[in-house]
Amino acid sequence: MPGIRRWSVLSLGLALPTAFFVLGPLGFLLWMGATQEGADFLERARDLELPRVVGQVALLATLTTAWAAALGVPLAWLTVRTDLPGRRLIHWLAPLPLAIPPYIGALVYQILLAPGGVLPNFLGVTSLPLNLYGVGGAAWVLGLFMSPYLYLLVSGALERTNPALEEVARGAGLGPRQVLRRVTLPLLRPALLAGGLVVFLYSWADFGVVSLLRVRTLTTIIYDYIQGTADWALPSALSILLTAITILVLLLQLRVLGRAGYTQIVGAVKPAPLVSLGAWRWPAFAYVGGMVTLTLLLPLGVLGYQASRLPAPAAFVLIQWPYFLNSLWTAVSGASLALLIALGVAWSEGRGRAWRVSGLLQVGYAIPGTVLGLGMAGFLHAALPGIYATSLALIVTYFVLYVTPACQSVKAALVQLHPSLEEAARSLGRGPLAAFWAVTLPLIKPGLLGGWILVFVLSMRELAATLIVRPPGFDTLPVRIWIYAMDVGPEPRAATLALILVLTIALPWAMMLSLRSRGIPPSG
Amino acid sequence: MELLALEDVTKRYAPDQPPAVDALTLTVEQGEILALLGPSGCGKTTTLRLIAGFEAPDSGRVVIRGETMAGGGRWVPPEGRGVAIVFQDYALFPHLTVAENVGFGLQHLGRSGRPERVRQILELVGLESFARRYPHELSGGQQQRVALARALAPAPAIILLDEPFSNLDADLRAQMREEVERILRDTGTTGIFVTHDQEEAFTLADRVGVLNQGRLEQLDTPEQIYHHPATPFVAEFVGAADFLPGLVTPYGIVTEMGVFANTEAWKTGEKVKVMLRPDDVAFVPSSFGDGMIIRRDFRGSETLYCIRLPSGQRVHSSQASSSLYPNGTRVRAEAHLIHVVTFPV
């Protein structure tokens, strides 16, 4: 059909620049890493105790994943499937801690537990017997603030599971506990795996928490090298190592899911009957309340308390105002760019006649922020010196890092739209663009808004890549918070900025969570 | 006047698969209602989509009002064809009210002319009071009427209906069928609809095209399709049919159930099969009869008996619902054929 050519031109026009900015940084790292001589690298790896570091990061990622699962999975089951008191409120509150970046979580626990902190002062001791600085503390913080990811994926899967499957199992003579063990949990495996993977890879590549809590990892070593020396070769080689292991884990997941990829049942006919908790109602409520306290109320309270100790807050905020604006406008630009490209990619791919660009985009999502920051800085320095060390570089970095979630949001919105709607508009005299404008766009608006907010929030809180790519003197809120916390410690200035950042993120994030539950009524 | 012509239209979705529509040729007259009838996967929906312009033919031409829409190097996009479509799922725009849905195709009328036309069309389908409602606030039948109104509003040359009644309850279906026919006849609109329900095709259409595996098996009036099916496939698809083996002799076609007239001038000695509809077959219970009732299906308005003949051949007989004979009853079966339809073996 004429029109095929137009789609390919559109998708090619999207594919080429995107490929340039996604593959360029990777190519740079591979090229720089290759200049590192093998023997030389092995010697320096020994100096850095690389095997020990990798083992330590693996331990951290494993502990974090287990801790996040222990927190998020029971919470999901309790809110979706039981008569837990206040379950609707909890369902809305549980994903909210994602507005608190884990490095701010680390800051909160520093304020609370570090020597000279709130708790030691209250108890009248100089330091507590438990040590926050180390793998244990980092896993505690990361697991706590990553658990909402698992909650979101598992509660979504629980809502979509067809209750008839469980009823069949009951009919076959299984008791409620056996049904949970032999039907419900196995059906959740894809969601558990996907959620566990997100948490594992995030903590594996985390920079903010581990740097604040003084855990030596690949990312902190890379960052120290970039800061301390003009040497590109070793950090590039380490980045390739970091990325290679990330990709290995992703491939492993594909293998496991590939076989057990029973996609979840489409649209449950009716919601599953709620399990009565009976005497366990209030213990369960206490558990859930404890989680909300630890992940939401306590951090906000601690940040608020610490911020209130700031002398002359108005003057301080006024001085910091430009950094807030830096954060805001780069995140807004990054989110808008990502959404625009995502819309083009998702729309042309939805027509089934386009180049598959979204697979390429996913590469950017899989690369850790530290690595992409390094690659992007080096690549722009070599290929586009006009952009290097400008705020534009930051926007491109946010785009490459987070275009995939935007793409997923747009695709999810488009999938729900039956093609007959656009066809009906065409047969009523509208051209392809007019039909898109009059029918498709208004109907996918909530999805677009959700995707935009997601990228905005992620860019707004991005720390590692921003630290590396930003132009000299161009600080964002996360950068300021991190510098204060690293240089001076968990003091009121860092806490004040952290509070401002959290509130800025929380507002659109809460809006998106309410959007999630409100769909367009179906036409059929 | 000939409004639509499909000339040798072929559409293949994948090179290694048989064509979805295979060398289809048909014409539709102004004001006619045509039904495309066939089992699922026979290519009837693809045919609609080729006419509407959502698919392009691999070969052949689509001609509307004498103007080539597709084929021979020409391509007119859907918005330029003046062909409206009512989808199986109605495809009402959920973000627009009923009035806005109906007015969607009336951009050429401008702000002043549109409300009048919308009101007029809504009146035609009996939904004047629902103009400000949203689609999800309507029942299934009302949604269908909105879809029809929206398609009719721009006064299209042809209106295409894709399985239009399949989402409705049985009693509503009959009512909507009548109403759609009235509206199409009143407005003089040419309609083409696809269905897998032969009763729907027969009651609504002037002519019925039976499709099988992308090919047009027969295009004719409902009566001809039923009484003179062109192929065994058509015979079996529209209503039940048994085929009785017969031998052509100078005296007629000799079968187990008697001799039938050789109306189709087969040569003596040829073997043929004679089509029997259940309403062609009668029987009387008789202890000397050589047939036996082996199955009885009570269907409300009729009772369908399956009778085994001495050769093992089975034939079906439709009787009044008050007729009650148990399985195993010996019967003498007779066939009374008004039209003798025969096929080569």
Task: Return the number of other C-beta atoms located less than 10 Å from residue A444's C-beta.
Answer: 26
Chain A 426-445, residues with CB within 8 Å of chain B CB atoms: 426-432, 435, 438-439, 442-443
Phi, psi angle pair for B21, to nearest 5°: -130, 130
Contact B243, B272 (CB under 8 A): no
SS (H, E, C) A130-183: CCCCCHHHHHHHHHHHHHHHHHHHHHHHHHHCCHHHHHHHHHCCCCHHHHHHHH
Output the pLDDT for position B109.
84
Nearest to B91 among A1, A421, A521 (CB): A421
HSE at residue B138, side-chain half, CA atoms within 13 A, is: 26
- How does pLDDT run across B252-293, given as a tens digit for each residue? 999 999 999 998 889 999 999 999 999 999 999 998 888 999
Whether complex ipTM tops 0.90? no
AA identity, residue A423: E
HSE at residue A173, side-chain half, CA atoms within 13 A, is: 0
Residues of B in contact with A439 (CB under 8 A): 93
The reply to whether residue A523 touches residue B134, judged by beta carbons under 8 angstroms, is: no
Whether A124 has its CB under 8 Å from any CB of chain B: the answer is no
Nearest to A418 among B55, B91, B134 (CB): B91
- Distance (Å, whole) CA B165 – CA B88: 8
Interface test with B, best of A421, A430, A523 (most B CBs within 10 A): A523
Contact A364, A23 (CB under 8 A): no
Chain B residue closest in CA terms to A441: B95
Whether A522 has its CB under 8 Å from any CB of chain B: the answer is yes
Phi, psi angle pair for B299, to nearest 5°: -120, 20
Spans of all domains in chain A: 10-30+312-519, 48-260+281-308
**Residue where the block lists tokens 């968990």:** A490
HSE at residue B222, side-chain half, CA atoms within 13 A, is: 14
Chain B residue closest in CA terms to A428: B105
Q: CA torsion B145→B149→B150→B154, rounded to 10°?
A: 160
Whether B56 has its CB under 8 Å from any CB of chain A: the answer is yes
- Distance (Å, whole) CA B201 – CA B281: 25
List, in order, residues 6 or more apart from A293 with CB less than 8 Å away.
none
- Distance (Å, whole) CA B115 – CA B126: 16
Q: Which residues pair with B83 in a beta bridge?
A: B158
- Distance (Å, whole) CA A344 – CA A406: 11
HSE at residue B145, side-chain half, CA atoms within 13 A, is: 25
Using alpha carbons, select from A357, A385, A389 the residue that is nearest to residue A22.
A357
Using alpha carbons, select from B111, B9, B109 the residue that is nearest to residue B61.
B9
Q: Terminal CA-to-CA distance of chain A, rounded, Å? A: 29
- Choice among A14-18, A393-397, B33-37, B321-325 with the minimum mean pLDDT: A14-18
CA distance A417 to chain B (A): 10
**Residue where the block lists tokens 């043929």:** B272
Interface test with A, best of B93, B108, B152 (most A CBs within 10 A): B93
- Distance (Å, whole) CA A324 – CA A335: 16
The reply to whether residue A426 touches residue B79, judged by beta carbons under 8 angstroms, is: yes
The reply to whether residue A423 touches residue B81, judged by beta carbons under 8 angstroms, is: no
Whether A123 has its CB under 8 Å from any CB of chain B: the answer is no
Report CA-CA distances (Å) from A252 to A55, A205, A256, B17, B238: 18, 17, 6, 36, 55
- What is the count of residue pairs from A and B with beta carbons less than 8 Å apart? 86
Contact B267, B343 (CB under 8 A): no
Nearest to A523 among B75, B94, B107 (CB): B94
Output the pLDDT for position A519.
39
**Per-position pLDDT tens, chain A of length 524:** 444 455 667 777 777 888 889 889 999 999 988 887 777 888 888 888 889 999 999 999 999 999 999 999 999 989 988 888 888 888 888 988 989 999 999 999 999 988 888 888 888 887 777 888 999 999 999 999 999 999 988 988 888 777 788 888 888 888 888 888 888 888 888 888 888 988 999 999 999 999 999 999 999 999 998 887 767 888 898 999 899 888 888 888 777 765 554 544 444 456 667 778 888 888 999 999 999 999 999 999 999 999 999 888 889 989 999 999 999 999 999 999 999 999 888 887 776 655 667 777 777 888 899 999 999 999 999 999 998 889 999 999 999 999 988 988 888 888 888 889 999 999 999 998 899 999 999 999 988 998 999 999 999 999 999 999 999 889 999 999 999 999 888 889 999 999 999 999 999 988 888 776 543 333 32
AA identity, residue A77: W
The reply to whether residue A442 touches residue B105, judged by beta carbons under 8 angstroms, is: no
- Both tokens of B327, joined, read 């399985």
List, in order, residues 6 or more apart from B206 with CB less than 8 Å away.
B32, B33, B34, B221
AA identity, residue B155: A
Q: Which superfamily does CATH assign the domain made up of A48-260+281-308 to?
A: MetI-like (1.10.3720.10)
- Both tokens of B46, joined, read 């693809």
List, in order, residues 6 or more apart from B73 with CB less than 8 Å away.
none
Residues of B in contact with A427 (CB under 8 A): 52-53, 78-79, 81, 83-85, 151
Chain B residue closest in CA terms to A1: B56
Output the pLDDT for position B217.
95
Q: What angle do CA A93, A191, A109 make, to 5 degrees?
A: 45
- Distance (Å, whole) CA B213 – CA B226: 20
Burial of B16 (0-12, 13-18, 19+ CB in 10 A): exposed
Contact A496, A490 (CB under 8 A): no
The reply to whether residue A420 touches residue B143, judged by beta carbons under 8 angstroms, is: no
Domains A10-30+312-519 and A48-260+281-308 fall in the same CATH topology? yes
Whether B95 has its CB under 8 Å from any CB of chain A: the answer is yes
Report CA-CA distances (Å) from B195 to A216, A240, A336, B33, B119: 69, 60, 46, 13, 30
Using alpha carbons, select from A362, A359, A405, A395 the residue that is nearest to residue A512.
A405
Contact B293, B332 (CB under 8 A): no
Q: Cα A102 from chain centroid?
A: 10
Residues of B in contact with A423 (CB under 8 A): 52, 54, 78, 85, 87, 91
**Residue where the block lists tokens 């935009």:** A452
Nearest to A429 among B79, B94, B136 (CB): B79
Residues of B in contact with A522 (CB under 8 A): 94, 136
Q: What is the CATH number of domain A10-30+312-519?
A: 1.10.3720.10
**Residue where the block lists tokens 């089975």:** B314
SS3 of B16, please?
A: coil
Task: Return the number of other C-beta atoms located less than 10 Å from residue B180's C-beta.
Answer: 23
Whether B143 has its CB under 8 Å from any CB of chain A: the answer is yes
Mean pLDDT of B214-218: 95
The reply to whether residue B89 touches residue A524, judged by beta carbons under 8 angstroms, is: yes
With a cut of 70, say whether residue B100 has pLDDT above it.
Answer: yes
Contact B213, B22 (CB under 8 A): yes
- Choice among A36-45, A463-472, B15-24, B106-115 with the minimum mean pLDDT: A36-45
Output the pLDDT for position B84.
93
- Choice among A247-261, B15-29, B90-104, B275-289 with the minimum mean pLDDT: A247-261
Q: CA torsion A174→A178→A181→A182, rounded to 10°?
A: -30
The reply to whether residue B78 touches residue A520, judged by beta carbons under 8 angstroms, is: no
- Both tokens of A491, joined, read 């003091």
Contact B70, A417 (CB under 8 A): no
Chain A 492-521, residues with CB within 8 Å of chain B CB atoms: 520-521
All domains in chain B, ordered by first residue:
2-237 (3.40.50.300), 242-344 (2.40.50.140)
The reply to whether residue A1 touches residue B107, judged by beta carbons under 8 angstroms, is: no
The reply to whether residue B78 touches residue A421, judged by beta carbons under 8 angstroms, is: no
- Both tokens of B82, joined, read 């003046």
The reply to whether residue B150 touches residue A424, judged by beta carbons under 8 angstroms, is: yes
- How does pLDDT run across B227-260, given as a tens digit for each residue? 999 999 999 999 889 999 999 999 999 999 999 9
**Residue where the block lists tokens 């290759």:** A34
The reply to whether residue A3 touches residue B79, judged by beta carbons under 8 angstroms, is: no
HSE at residue B17, side-chain half, CA atoms within 13 A, is: 11
Burial of B220 (0-12, 13-18, 19+ CB in 10 A): middle
Whether B91 has its CB under 8 Å from any CB of chain A: the answer is yes
AA identity, residue A474: F
AA identity, residue A442: P
CA distance B215 to chain A (A): 22
Contact A14, A341 (CB under 8 A): yes
Chain A residue closest in CA terms to B80: A429
- Distance (Å, whole) CA A223 – CA A235: 8
Q: What angle do CA A428, A432, A434 make, to 5 degrees?
A: 70
The reply to whether residue B94 touches residue A431, judged by beta carbons under 8 angstroms, is: no
Tell me what percent of chain A is helix, strand and coil, each rounded to the nearest 5. Answer: 80, 0, 20
Nearest to B91 among A424, A430, A442 (CB): A424
Residues of A in contact with B69 (CB under 8 A): none
Sign of CA dihedral A86, A91, A92, A95: positive
What totals of helices (H) and strands (E) does chain B contain, helices first? 8, 21
Residues of A in contact with B107 (CB under 8 A): 429-430
